[in-house]
A and B are shown apart, each in its own frame.
Chain A
Amino acid sequence: MTAAIELRNATKRFRTPAGAIYTALRDLNLVVEPGEFCAVVGPTGCGKSTTLSLISGLETASGGKVLVNGEPVTGIGPGIGFMFQTDAVFPWKSVLANVAAGPLFRGVPKRQALDNARDWLRRVGLSGFADRHPHQLSGGMRKRVALAQSLINEPRILLMDEPFSALDVQTRSIMSDELLALWELSRPTVVFITHDLEEAIALADKVVVMTAGPGTIKATFHVELPRPRKVQEIRFDPKFVELYHRIWESLRDEVQLAYARTTTAA
């Protein structure tokens, strides 16, 4: 079976405004199988977001290969959804228009796109808010708009860049449950970036630990917890706790290294 996503020795270098070259990713190797939920954890500034940019086609790799469904990535593919860390819903569009944006961009007739969008609003529990503008919604509701906006295009690959990090802890676990429920419906391949190890284990089939920048993969852990899961409850499972300790062992050194760098640089 062809991997949904494969990075082979992917490297990404940026030129800083001062003219220096900054290596964000070095020789990164990662394989994500179709339908797999892969969480990526790592310290701040380790190139997690850059990894997503390469997979999505928003950025091109400076070296190595990036394959999606076995094909090299040359631009933004149609089968990809992306949820951003900060709000990326369009503030001047109503909630309904935001969700319908994807199909409309892709040339779906307006009526059909709007009907489909109403369907998705119902699925994320926002039926009564179709005519509101994003600033009138809470942070959690805006995230649900963003989720519906991505999923309406029925992506086979969903890339999520710390999507819930701005939410409070309770809202975050509710959103995680909702994400899992929606994911179960069509089982797209997910790459989910997070700082939060608990969130990573609770959601994913596989947790990947990245090194402090330049980022590369340090270790991969398979999460053998049964689905469907309840994010709130699963963290008390002994297997969860045991796995948490093992992954934290691996992650801790990288976090400390990254932290030491920020303090010495300052």
Chain B
Amino acid sequence: MSQLAASAVTAPAKAETVLVADPRARARARRQKIIVRVLQLTVFVVFVGGWELLSQLKVLDPFFFGQPSKIAVQMGDWLKNGTEAGSIWTQVGVTMEEALLGFAIGVVAGIVCGIALGRVPMLSKIFGPYIKVMNSIPRIVLGSIFIVWLGLGLSSKVALAIVLVFFAVFFNAYQGTREVDRNLVANARILGASGRQVTTQVVLPSALTWIIASLHVSFGFALIGAIVGEFLGAQKGLGLLIRQAQDTFNPNAVFAAMVIIAVVALVAEGLIALLERVLLSWRPPQLSGTEL
């Protein structure tokens, strides 16, 4: 996965080094960037405009497919009058709280377990098959169990987010630990590092590339966990809004909630990219760029 991410960002960085050398190439790249932006905007206008137009003309039935203008109205209504479960900000806050808690706990647990199993072959031999089995279960079904166990409150959603995040981070941390350059470990040991120092000062920083690659996906998983958890049973949250909208056949509210979730996810993605740039600043630029 991280290899994929790395190969995705290598190309633009290479192109950039060429640009610096040649002003004509730089101008061409700038022009190309503008063209790309214009085309992106065009795609948006055509899609949303077409959707609006077709629903106004009743080619698309707004009862099933919603309508962009009504989605905007719905969001305005939520902002002004709140939702049935309280203010819209409370809903966003509750979902974020669940997602962030699940994310934080899942990430820490994933890193600790991944590095432990990666460093201690005996542990990976014992737990390996169990982890594979648990990973092959579609974990989203655990949501129902968690609601039975933990009730309709915060903890059942957090638990679901944790299990989703844990495995994504775990496998990357494990792989990252296994791929640590043996020379670096040998060098640290010769220089006098203890086993613990090797883990914290060699294995962790070198597995960080892998771990951070998994954070991008796992925040998405945390959001899925929180929202599906709310969907299955909750008193507050964006998932509940979607559920209520579904029950009242209101596609506009479903889409409005989706837009809010997308904004939250994009902001989180931006923060993780920032974290990545800070933590991995030691890497040569063609690997640490986040152009996409």
**Which A positions have Cβ atoms within 8 angstroms of B?**
56, 58, 76, 78, 80-82, 84, 86-93, 101-102, 105-106, 133, 135, 149-150, 153
Q: Is the CB of B192 within 8 A of A88?
A: no
Partner of B190, one of A56, A87, A91: A56
Any A CB within 8 A of the CB of B284: yes
What count of chain B residues pass the 8 Å CB interface test? 21
Q: A89 contacts which chain B residues (CB < 8 A)? A: 187
Is the Cβ of B282 less than 8 Å from the Cβ of A149?
no
Please give, as numbers and ranges, the residues of chain A lying within 8 Å of B186 by CB-CB distance: 58, 82, 84, 88
B232 at the interface (CB under 8 A from A): no
CB distance from A101 to the nearest CB of B (A): 6
Q: How far is the CB of B199 from chain A (nearest CB, A)?
A: 13
Partner of B205, one of A80, A92, A149: A92
Q: Is the interface of A mostly helix, strand, loop or mixed?
A: loop
Pick the contact of A135: B197, B202, B282 (CB < 8 A). B282
| Interface membership of chain B positions 202-219, coded 1 if the CB is closer than 8 angstroms to chain A and 0 otherwise | 100110100000000000
- Which chain B residues numbered 264 to 292 have a C-beta less than 8 Å away from chain A? 282-284
B205 closest partner in A (C-beta): A92
- The answer to whether A90 and B205 have CB atoms under 8 Å apart is yes
Bits for B161-182, please: 1 = Cβ < 8 Å to A, else 0.
Answer: 0000000000000000000010
On B, residues with C-beta under 8 Å from A are: 181, 183-184, 186-194, 197, 201-202, 205-206, 208, 282-284
Greatest chain A CB density within 10 A among B183, B187, B189, B190 is at B190
Min CB distance A180 to B, Å, is 22
A101 touches B284 (CB 8 A): no
10 A–B contacts, CB within 8 A, in A order: A82-B186, A82-B190, A84-B186, A88-B183, A90-B202, A90-B205, A92-B205, A92-B206, A102-B191, A106-B191
Complexed CA–CA distance, A7 and B284 (Å) = 42
Bound-state CA distance A3–B42 (Å) is 79
Partner of A84, one of B187, B192, B282: B187
A149 touches B191 (CB 8 A): yes
Chain A residues, CB < 8 A from B194:
105
Q: How far is the CB of A91 from chain B (nearest CB, A)?
A: 6
Q: From residue A110, how far is it (CB to closest CB) to chain B in Å?
A: 14
Minimal beta-carbon separation of B210 from chain A (angstroms): 14
- Please determine whether A90 and B184 come into contact, CB atoms closer than 8 angstroms: yes
CA–CA, A91 and B189, complex, Å: 16
A56 surroundings in chain B (CB, below 8 A): 190
Least CB distance, B209 to chain A, in whole angstroms: 10
- Residues in B with CB closer than 8 Å to A102 are 191-192
11 extra A-B contacts, CB within 8 A, seeds A58-B186, A90-B201, A105-B193: A80-B190, A82-B187, A88-B183, A90-B184, A90-B188, A90-B205, A92-B208, A93-B282, A101-B193, A106-B192, A153-B191
Q: Which 5 A-B pairs have the closest CB atoms?
A: A88-B187, A102-B191, A105-B192, A106-B192, A92-B282
B189, B201, B282: the one within 8 Å of A76 (CB): B189
Q: Please report the C-alpha to C-alpha distance between residue A89 and residue B186 in the assembled complex, in whole angstroms.
A: 11
Contact of A76 with B202 at beta-carbon distance under 8 Å, contacts A91-B282, A92-B282 already known:
no
Compute how far the CA of A88 lies from the CA of B189 in the bound complex, rounded to whole angstroms.
12
Chain A residues within 8 Å of B201, by CB: 90, 101, 105
Of all chain A residues, which has the CB nearest B184?
A: A88
